[in-house]
Amino acid sequence: MKEGEWKRYTEILKKRTLAAPSILAGDFGRLADSAKRAEEKGADFIHVDVMDGHFVPNITFGPDVVKALRQAVAIPLDVHLMISRPDIYAARFIEAGADIVTVHKESEHDIEKTLSDIQDMGAEPGVVLNPDTDISAVTDVLDKCRMVLVMSVFPGFGGQSFIPDVLKKVEKLKALREKNKWDYWIEIDGGINAETSKLAFSSGVDVIVAGTYVFKNKNIRSAINTLKREKVEKQDA
């Protein structure tokens, strides 16, 4: 992501949360069409769930799919790597067009090095925490993150139930960011719907991922709009 684009989204974030529909719940026979539809209906980012069948018990997309999505939409691709060796594969996803690349603390790698490699390759680096991983496991790398993704389900599958307990981590991440003047965005992923997105918003989330709620919804535009939660009261003209 270009610095100007990053700043533009940071400005938007002063007013509302960002909506990142997860293509995992799109039509696998027509992924590009699903991504385009989400973009047309107001998505800020397309969230891409990459699973390797090893780090999680499911297999989804490789870099070529990211490349096809890159050609289909203009909005940033937020690529969530649920893979054992993000240090080896991050480059391939960045070459394919990933704008934001988030990597799990629980994967097998030197996370500090992976994050700085992602940044050197021109993408926004982020760290992901499973529901049972504490913030203390990543505090030493938070200054290198442009995104911190708090998983609100155990990764691997769409359509699971939201784990409210993780909201404490969102609040803590927000407090830490203010205290240390860090600049990451806080993202939540898993089991998001109208109700849980409201809870996430109240805890201080910036970017809201939703798969099932968006793509299995009869009204995709209104579902995406629900994820864009206003932070300030609108002034009457």
Which residue is catalytic, options 49, 52, 87, 117? 49
If binding is defined by CB under 6 A, does position 107 make contact with ligand DX5? no
Q: Does residue number 49 form part of the binding site for Zn ion (CB under 5 A)?
A: yes
Helix (H, G, I), strand (E, B) or coil at 105: coil
49 annotated active-site: yes
Minimal distance, residue 221 CB to ligand DX5, in Å: 17
42 dihedral zone (left: phi>0; alpha: psi -120 to 50; beta): left
Burial 173-206 (b: 16+ CB within 10 A, else e): bbeebeeeeeebbbbbbbbbbeebbebbbebbbb
Binding track over 73-112 against Zn ion, x by CB under 5 A: -------x--------------------------------
Maximum separation of any 2 CA atoms in the chain, in Å: 55
- Count of residues binding ligand DX5 (CB under 6 A)? 22
212 binds ligand DX5 (CB under 6 A): yes
Q: Is 189 among the residues known to form the active site?
A: yes
Determine, following the binding rule CB under 6 A, whether residue 164 of this chain makes contact with ligand DX5: no
CA distance 166 to 133: 10
Pick one of 70, 80, 109, 169: the residue that binds ligand DX5 (CB under 6 A): 80
Please, what is the minimum distance in Å from the beta carbon of residue 223 to ligand DX5?
Answer: 11
* 209 binds ligand DX5, rule: CB under 6 A: yes
Q: How far is the CB of 11 from ligand DX5 (least distance, A)?
A: 26
- Identify residues 133-162 at the interface with ligand DX5 (CB under 6 A): 153, 155-160
| Residue recorded with tokens 């992901």 | 128
Report the C-alpha dihedral over residues 32, 35, 37, 43, rounded to 10 degrees. Answer: -160
Cα separation of 8 and 86, whole Å? 28
Residue type, 4: G
Residue from 1, 19, 25, 43 binding ligand DX5 (CB under 6 A): 25
Which tokens is 112 given?
Answer: 């500090």
For 100, phi then psi, to 5°, come to -120, 130
Tokens of 209: 């991922």
Give yes or no for residue 189 binding Zn ion (CB under 5 A). yes
Residue 48 near residue 98, CB atoms below 8 Å: yes
Examine residue 52 and tell whether it contacts Zn ion (CB under 5 A). no
For residues 49 and 87, which CB has a smaller minimum distance to Zn ion in the complex? Answer: 49
Name the β-bridge partners of 187.
149, 207
Residues annotated catalytic, as ranges: 49, 189
Residue numbers at the binding site for Zn ion (CB under 5 A): 49, 80, 189
Residue numbers at the binding site for ligand DX5 (CB under 6 A): 22, 24-25, 47, 49, 80, 153, 155-160, 189-192, 209-213
